[in-house]
Structure 1
Amino acid sequence: MDYVAIVGGLLLAWTLLQCIRWLAISNRCNRKLPPGPVPLPLIGNLHNILLGSQPHQSIAKLADKYGPIISLRFGRITTVVTSSSAVAKEVLQKKDLAFSSRTIPDAIYALNHCQFSVVWLPVANRWRSLRKILNSNIFSGSRLDAKQHLRSRKIQDLIAYCDRCSQTGEAVNIGQATFETSMNLLSNTIFSKDVVDPYANSGKEFKDVGKLLQQIEGLIHERFEQRRGFATSSSTDVLDVLLNISNEDPQPIDRNHIERLCLDLFVAGTDATSNTLEWAMVEVMRKPYIMRKAKAELAEVIGKGKAIEEADVACLPYLQCIVKETLRVHPPVPFLIRKVDQDVEACGYFVPKDSLVLVYVWSIGRDPAIWEDPLTFKPERFWGSKMDVRGQDFELIPFGASRRICPGLPLATRTVSVMLGSLLNSFDWKAEGDIALEDLDVEEKFGITLARLRPLRVVPVPL
């Protein structure tokens, strides 16, 4: 009995201390935290978001109740969620530097990735050097144009695979096929070679980041051996460009940074691209009128069944509208993750040091205050609109904004548009098992990226 009393007393004392600490944080500098549900001892507000299978939707309901900027407690961590374009603009533009750090997941520490990755490094000299290298040597318009033929070849490989399936009536797993296309597209750009057997489902193992890093390390070691005795190379693939830069001055980028930069490119450029393609295909198939309009535009501008080049996208405004609408309803990531390294104020509220800050891209894209009929997939809403995804319009920020905007945005928009246009222009499509198109579901699987709960399996039909 005494033991129970002692344990109970210790729990009560600990709870009181946590309450005092919470009050101290809330009242620091006589400022108040954003509104939100009352946290419970130990777990904070975890019970508020984990009751269902879709935590991001649970947070959306809390934002509807408490407002566009709310505070939650996840264990001992103060978390601030912003879910309106106006608050996102203040956080990502007006006070960008204060909100430019990132909370680093434990898995990133396990690979020691945070010490070398441009994704996780703080905004400082090393980060600026790596971003400059990315923008100038990989994602500039001239560099992307120079590698367009490689991307076109990989996309035509995808179309050839779908053509074989159309002859046999075999269904295509759109997510898997476009994942492997994206993987080989990137590997050709970086290493001038494929890293997976096309469309053989072998790419699944490369979703294991540890195995992917080992593969990258092996390819870089192979290139080092090939270059032994040569300071530079005339090759134009990304790896040789990075090695040339490192040989001239290893201070901005060394071998560790090259390995992790390549890993970042693969991780960011595969799942996000394949998920977006999968969402675009299912949304277009669910609305036959959209499919007809897209096909009519492609037939008029390109020619029915003909290959699409990246330069053609500028002449395909309805295709561009479909891509924008897909990114509005189904952004690659539901949240942009930030952390504050010091006390800061946002929209009149106090955000304490070390708070996790989530910019809720998914909710902003479905905000009825911004979008008419926001849950309806309607590409026409972008017809004639100058709104873009490049970080200037905070109503539509699937790639982020300001200094932490995704550097791969120029490649991603090219790849998604050409892949989608090629799939639509080369085949008609029906759902596996003769499911009615309007019955295709749009259920989400929550994670770092927002994928479909069930893979989209569809049968290509020859034109």
Structure 2
Amino acid sequence: MEVLQLLVILTLLLALLVSTILFSTIFQSKLPPSPMALPIIGHFHLLGPLIHHSLHHLSLRYGPLFSLRLGSVSCVVASTPEYAKQLLKNNELSFTSRKHTIAIARLTYNSSFAFAPYGPFWKFVKKLSTNELLGTRTVHAFLSLREKEYRRLLRFLADKSEAGEAVNVTEELLKLTNNIISQMMLGRVEEARAVVREVTKIFGEFNVSDYIWFCKHLDLQGFGKRIEGIHSRFDALVEKVITEREDLRKMKEDGERGRDEVKDFIDILLDFSKDENSEIKLTRAHIKALIVDFFAAGTDTTAIATEWALAELINHPMVLEKARKEINNIVRNCRLVKESDVPNLPYIQAIIKETLRLHPPLPMVTRKCIEDCKIGNYVIPANTLLFVNVWAIGRDPNYWKNPLDFEPERFLKSNEKGNMGHIDIRGQHFQLLPFGSGRRICPGINLAMQELPTLLAAMIQCFDFKLVGPHGEIMDGENAVVDMDERPGLTAPRAHDLVCVPIARLSPLDHILDP
């Protein structure tokens, strides 16, 4: 019996070795250059926790377009604006899908909009979310909600400043963005920021069971238990929200709703789920998945970008002072900066662009090839995963002068050679793709670009921030430097929470913070 088992194992290993050789000989001539792969795992051994860093280092050796094999899954990695444009624009229809992982399928009820294939359902939800949640009209309609949340945060910081107490800025930014998207979607605040961070973290981790075919039903890394834990927590939240809203709708006649009342998104989704004439029948799973999608996207990424921007400003006091002078020139510190002021704050806008260049909240654009695609002399087969390394593109010295330096001035419009003031962040300039590009560009870009500059400007208008060390000590002088380490996951937040003591700059603050 032992001899038979040994023969089976040897046969399996031989089959895997043969398949590896066949993969190399059949596809390697068509695919871009690739490192030497190991049997079974392929190139998994070359990847560290921060995947975009690992792929960047590999691109320095194997070129701006190279291929990998992760288990039994073929992948291609692009690291220049030229290849990003070829793949995401010139051949966009070949890369309109996204890979589903076990975590994504489970946590989004296998009904996600963000990860759905390009087709009727995706088009329907994209149109619906643009028109009813994230479009210009709706974003403007929720302006007073955002202003209320800005002032709530600033008032909290003012109270802590008066008491001389430290604030976990990371948590407070997540609370603010959670509150905004929660009220836009659900009409009330639902606390979900902790589980949202867990969702985005596990979405970005590599689960061996997703990539090695014979491990599909094995939970080698303990992902299954984590996924079920996150799912049960989020499902309890969304089930409670939907059930309560359904009960409320039963008690109300449609005519009782105020004519000028802004309808929140869950009501609109429930309306479509009851509409027999709707082009797409929304199920309860669809509604739950959309809540997960928008909570994850609307909470995490905006908070991450704001925190990175504030961290960079703390580390660059001259940039911070220049930003404050611009704010003072516009509002004279007689009132709080508003979203309507942002067009007149080009330096604040440049700070946001520079932050998104160095610290894109989503460091990679990921797609799945749906048909064979020819790129130059290479052929990318259907079902190949595509990674466009946005993080690496934003730091490439071939396209950015002093790429590792935080220099917002590069985005100010001038006649200086090499100036990037003309570059937009809406997917048309492939040197800077924080929101992606094409049909699958982030639908929340309008909301994010209203929140980000206004929130950052308001915080630095009203406060200085003294860093607090890991043991609660105030950090001064040369030690007062925010670390710029990242945490792995689908998004790329700072590895450690930003804890500061806020110091009020304007005295008294009441005339600024009171509406």
Preserved contact between residue 305 and residue 425 of structure 1 (Cα < 8 Å) = no
**Residue 10 of structure 1, CA deviation:** 2.1
Partner amino acid for 1:169? G
**Residue 139 of structure 1, CA deviation:** 1.7
The whole-number CA distance in structure 1 between the counterparts of 2:8 and 2:248 is 66
**Residue of structure 2 equivalent to 1:260:** 289
How do 1:323-362 and structure 2 match up within 5 A? 323-362=352-391
**Residue of structure 2 equivalent to 1:6:** 7
Preserved contact between residue 87 and residue 347 of structure 1 (Cα < 8 Å) = no
**Residue of structure 2 equivalent to 1:167:** 162
**Residue 452 of structure 1, CA deviation:** 0.9
Counterpart of 2:92 in 1: which secondary structure? coil
How do 1:48-63 and structure 2 match up within 5 A? 48-50=46-48, 53-63=49-59
Q: State whether structure 2 residue 107 is matched by structure 1 residue 117.
A: no
Counterpart of 1:451 in 2: which secondary structure? coil
- TM-score between both structures, scaled by the size of structure 1: 0.92
Q: 2:135 aligns with which of 133, 140, 143?
A: 140
**Residue 82 of structure 1, CA deviation:** 0.5
Partner amino acid for 1:254? L
Preserved contact between residue 36 and residue 62 of structure 1 (Cα < 8 Å) = no
Preserved contact between residue 231 and residue 247 of structure 1 (Cα < 8 Å) = no
**Residue of structure 2 equivalent to 1:93:** 89
Q: State whether structure 2 residue 212 is matched by structure 1 residue 212.
A: no
Partner amino acid for 1:220? I
**Residue 205 of structure 1, CA deviation:** 4.5
Q: Tell me: CA distance 1:39–1:2, structure 2 relative to 1, closer, same or farther (3 Å).
A: same
**Residue of structure 1 equivalent to 2:27:** 26
Identity over the aligned pairs, expressed in percent? Answer: 34
**Residue of structure 1 equivalent to 2:226:** none
The whole-number CA distance in structure 1 between the counterparts of 2:340 and 2:270 is 30
Preserved contact between residue 90 and residue 347 of structure 1 (Cα < 8 Å) = no
Listed as ranges, the gaps of 5+ residues in structure 2 are 200-230, 414-420, 506-515
Preserved contact between residue 83 and residue 364 of structure 1 (Cα < 8 Å) = yes
The whole-number CA distance in structure 1 between the counterparts of 2:346 and 2:281 is 39
**Residue of structure 1 equivalent to 2:221:** none
Partner amino acid for 1:6? L
Preserved contact between residue 184 and residue 265 of structure 2 (Cα < 8 Å) = yes
**Residue of structure 1 equivalent to 2:126:** 131
How do 1:314-325 and structure 2 match up within 5 A? 314-325=343-354
**Residue of structure 1 equivalent to 2:244:** 222
The whole-number CA distance in structure 1 between the counterparts of 2:106 and 2:296 is 16
**Residue 332 of structure 1, CA deviation:** 0.8
Q: State whether structure 2 residue 318 is matched by structure 1 residue 289.
A: yes
The whole-number CA distance in structure 1 between the counterparts of 2:334 and 2:374 is 55
**Residue of structure 2 equivalent to 1:199:** none
- TM-score between both structures, scaled by the size of structure 2: 0.83
Partner amino acid for 1:178? L
**Residue 413 of structure 1, CA deviation:** 1.3
Count of aligned positions: 452
Preserved contact between residue 86 and residue 394 of structure 1 (Cα < 8 Å) = yes
Q: State whether structure 2 residue 268 is matched by structure 1 residue 241.
A: yes
Listed as ranges, the gaps of 5+ residues in structure 1 are 197-201
Question: For structure 1, which segment, 251-260 or 93-102, has the greater mean C-alpha deviation from structure 2 after superposition?
Answer: 251-260
**Residue 454 of structure 1, CA deviation:** 1.3
Q: What per-residue deviation string (whole Å, max 9, x for no partner) do you get for residues 115-174 of structure 1?
A: x22111111111111100111111221211111000110111010111111112212212
Q: What per-residue deviation string (whole Å, max 9, x for no partner) do you get for residues 400-429 of structure 1?
A: 000000001100111111111111111111
What is the alpha-carbon root mean square deviation over aligned residues?
2.1
Counterpart of 1:354 in 2: which secondary structure? coil
The whole-number CA distance in structure 2 between the counterparts of 1:206 and 1:62 is 31
Counterpart of 1:117 in 2: which secondary structure? coil
Q: Tell me: CA distance 1:184–1:94, structure 2 relative to 1, closer, same or farther (3 Å).
A: same
Q: 2:34 aligns with which of 33, 36, 45?
A: 36
Partner amino acid for 1:417? P
The whole-number CA distance in structure 2 between the counterparts of 1:305 and 1:168 is 24
Partner amino acid for 1:428? D
Partner amino acid for 2:11? L
